Amino acid sequence: MVLEATMICIDNSEWMRNGDYGPSRFQAQADAVNLICGAKTQSNPENTVGVLTMAGKGVRVLVTPTSDLGKILACMHGLEIGGEMNLAAGIQVAQLALKHRQNKKQQQRIIVFAGSPVKHEKKTLEMIGKKLKKNSVTLDIVNFGEDDEGKTEKLEALLAAVNNNDTSHIVHIPAGPNALSDVLLSTPIFTGDGEGGSGFAASAAAAAAGGISGFEFGVDPNLDPELALALRVSMEEERARQEAAAKKAAEESSKQEKGGEEQDATMTECASEGASEADNKKNEFLQALAMSMDEPASSHDLQDTEMSDAATEDPELALALQLSVQDSAKDSSSQSDMSKLLADQSFVSSILASLPGVDPNDPSVKEVLASMQSQSEPQQKQDEDKAPKEEDKK
């Protein structure tokens, strides 16, 4: 998201009539320029882009740095091809145009499309590069088209003179089936120095490849950049949060063997956590993301917090929820307790006897009892059945 003012230097010399790139070299260049303008304006709305031509009758500035994309696209129409490219003059005029930018806080950047042979000496280019570096202007070079002896060498020397901490780049694009702009998308010129316009680049690359939407989060950054940005930011925050939760879960799993007491402690912790977090949409969204990310360790906590969230207003409800959660967690243990109780026949019969209208001797009741005790040993059951029967009979 660097605040930048960019000047794009276009090569509209005779060599651009060649058709080895796209429909023609010039057309491929124009597409690339459009993409760059879009990417720059999107990564930061205050970025400005300007365009100048290096060939023709002389170096001519078509549009001074502006954030108005329409103006830039309009000026690309009706450009004539002819003449020879003057790289040195082009860069110097670009530097001058950047010097007079309106917002002095913007970083200065020049992007040069070098498609025709370079007639300057290496020394001249190196001096220009040094001057750019001194005034902290960064330079990106797109080397395509003609490749005569020394051109690559000269451009590399120019880059070496300008480069300060890897902020300037050079890209060599040979003629091939892929369009110029597609190849450029994957280069650091588009992706910027950091994550920059990576979202834009990724989506544009996906669209260009003709595949299905490979957008992050399923949202097209072109259609809704704010939403895409919000999703990206919340994703990073969630990752950080999950790391913290994973740490806590690791601690919890070591504690879980100690028994229910500890579970109570963690659950109350979760409840208090939920209470402290404000109940808002963002929270639910983060939880939804986390659950979809399928992290079992943290999802347990999240479920607890979710319920606690709902219950923050009503302390009684919170207590009830806690108890029910405890019960569900303790299910296995409680079930075994229940079956033990049922196995104790005397206890069951005493309960049944106290119930009005129920005769323990009733065969249907006995059948139910027998089915309930399916877990206990059958012999033991029968013995116990017989014993109370005889007692009753007495």
Partner 1 sequence: MACTHDHSCEDHDCSSNWSLYKHIDLAKVTALNEANPGSVKSVFKAWEERLNSSRERLESNEGDPELLVYIPFTSDVKIKSISVVGGADGTSPSKLRVFINREGIDFSDAQSMQPVQEWELVENLQGVLEYQTRYSKFQSVANITLHFPESFGGDTTQIHYIGFKGEATQLKRDVVATIVYEITPNPSDHKTRAETGGGLSHVE
Sites for partner 1 among residues 223-262 (CB under 8 A): none
Single out the residue of 57, 148, 165, 379 in contact with partner 1 (rule: CB under 8 A).
165
Interaction between residue 123 and partner 1 (CB under 8 A): no
Interaction between residue 135 and partner 1 (CB under 8 A): yes
Give me the least distance between CB of 222 and partner 1, in Å please.
31
Interaction between residue 107 and partner 1 (CB under 8 A): no
From the list 67-75, 128-136, 193-201, 344-352, the region that binds partner 1 by CB under 8 A is: 128-136
Give me the least distance between CB of 25 and partner 1, in Å please.
35
Single out the residue of 60, 120, 122, 133 in contact with partner 1 (rule: CB under 8 A).
133
What is the spatial distance between Cα 193 and Cα 196, in angstroms, rounded to a whole number? 7
Q: Is 197 exposed, middle or buried (0-12, 13-18, 19+ CB in 10 A)?
A: buried
**Could you give the residue ranges of the DSSP H alpha helices within the chain?**
25-43, 69-75, 87-99, 122-134, 151-162, 180-185, 188-191, 198-208, 225-256, 260-276, 281-292, 296-310, 315-329, 331-343, 345-354, 363-372, 378-393
From the list 127-135, 280-288, 319-327, 369-377, the region that binds partner 1 by CB under 8 A is: 127-135
- CA dist 382 → 341, 373, 387 (Å): 16, 11, 9
Single out the residue of 17, 130, 282, 330 in contact with partner 1 (rule: CB under 8 A).
130
Give me the least distance between CB of 136 and partner 1, in Å please.
6
What is the spatial distance between Cα 140 and Cα 159, in angstroms, rounded to a whole number? 8
What is the spatial distance between Cα 310 and Cα 153, in angstroms, rounded to a whole number? 67
Sites for partner 1 among residues 298-327 (CB under 8 A): none
Interaction between residue 136 and partner 1 (CB under 8 A): yes
- 132 near 95, Cβ under 8 Å? yes
Give me the least distance between CB of 164 and partner 1, in Å please.
7
**How open is the CA angle 65-69-73, to the nearest 5 degrees?**
100
* Closer to partner 1 by Cβ: residue 99 or 282: 99
Bridging pattern class, strands 48-53 and 4-10: parallel
Q: Which residues contact 111 (CB under 8 A, 6 or more apart)?
A: 6, 7, 8, 9, 36, 139, 140, 141, 142, 189
Give me the least distance between CB of 48 and partner 1, in Å please.
15
Q: What is the size of the binding site for partner 1 (CB under 8 A)?
A: 9
Single out the residue of 23, 58, 99, 150 in contact with partner 1 (rule: CB under 8 A).
99
From the list 70-78, 129-137, 204-212, 305-313, the region that binds partner 1 by CB under 8 A is: 129-137
Place of tokens 């208090």: 272
What is the spatial distance between Cα 91 and Cα 110, in angstroms, rounded to a whole number? 8
From the list 59-67, 132-140, 338-346, 371-379, the region that binds partner 1 by CB under 8 A is: 132-140
Give me the least distance between CB of 134 and partner 1, in Å please.
5
Q: Which long-range contacts (CB under 8 A, 24 or more apart) does 90-94 make?
A: 90/9, 90/52, 90/54, 90/59, 91/9, 91/128, 91/132, 91/139, 92/128, 93/52, 93/59, 93/61, 94/7, 94/9, 94/50, 94/52
Give me the least distance between CB of 142 and partner 1, in Å please.
25
* Closer to partner 1 by Cβ: residue 47 or 308: 47
* Closer to partner 1 by Cβ: residue 165 or 379: 165
Give me the least distance between CB of 3 and partner 1, in Å please.
14
- 255 near 264, Cβ under 8 Å? no
Single out the residue of 27, 92, 164, 303 in contact with partner 1 (rule: CB under 8 A).
164
Give me the least distance between CB of 85 and partner 1, in Å please.
25
Single out the residue of 17, 119, 123, 134 in contact with partner 1 (rule: CB under 8 A).
134
- Contact footprint for partner 1 (CB under 8 A): 99, 104, 130, 133-136, 164-165
